[in-house]
Amino acid sequence: MSDRPALSPTPRQVMVAAAAREIRDGEIVFVGMRLPLIAFAIAKALHAPTAIGLFENGVIRDTAPLAPLVTMGDPPNIAGAVACTGLLDVMGLLQQGRVDLGLLGAAEVDRFGNLNTTRVGDVRLPGSGGSCDIAALSRRFIVLLAHERRRFRERVAFLTSPGHGPGGDWRRRTGLRGGGPAKVISHLGVFATDPDSGELVLVTVHPGVGVDDVRRETDWDVRVSPSLEETPLPGREELAVIARFDREGRGTGS
């Protein structure tokens, strides 16, 4: 991977590159659309060539899609796939404990990594899809979302997908096999989960962002790591992959 950043990457490009770096070579990854898809493509191209991507519609790929996608069923996701199975087949891999990492989006996240994609006030959102299963059963999951106070809530308005519930050993006590949220990545910084409390802790801020900026847009008293660092900028190779899969900048533009 190139360590030379291009000039002035956008906050969302920093965000998606940070997510890509969480994917390890050889892992089985449940891939969502838009930013998760771009993160998977970066990882496949640059540091995780043997990672396997699962898509909710049953597609299994050992390469990135051939071109940008609008839906998971688009021809570039079908062509060259290892297998085109069905929903039950890929969900069965979750139940077997074979999925290493899930990449998820959300409308809301709270201080313990719980996600809401169902309802905010009177507004009905798209709902869970497979996100509840992924959050419950994958060995770990990562969340990508814009950082706004109305989305980083003290407590989510509706619990769609479980993080660490009210905190502590809640996942163990409720019988959830997966490890829960490993990282929450926004366009301001990256949070990791404290292993004892289950609470999100700010571990990096993106270039040009201060801790006060994060606190201003977060609805709880943010814990900050004593070893807080700056998120590395994406290199030129990472940005080239982003440009290929987000040609018009709809997902990662300014």
Catalytic residues: 56
Helix (H) or strand (E) holding 86: none
Contact 29, 53 (CB under 8 A): yes
**Residue among 173, 143, 147, 146 at smallest CA distance from 161:** 143
Angle between helices 35-46 and 236-245 (to 10 degrees): 130
For tokens 């290929």, the residue is: 244
CB 62 within 8 A of CB 50: yes
Structure tokens at 254: 């300014």
The amino acid present at 74, given as its one-letter code, is D
| 104/144 Cα distance (integer angstroms) | 6
β strands within the chain, DSSP E: 28-30, 52-54, 59-61, 83-84, 101-105, 108-110, 115-116, 119-120, 123-124, 140-144, 152-153, 181-185, 189-193, 200-205, 223-230
Q: Are strands 189-193 and 181-185 parallel, antiparallel or unpaired?
A: antiparallel
User: The tokens of 103 are what?
Assistant: 């990449």
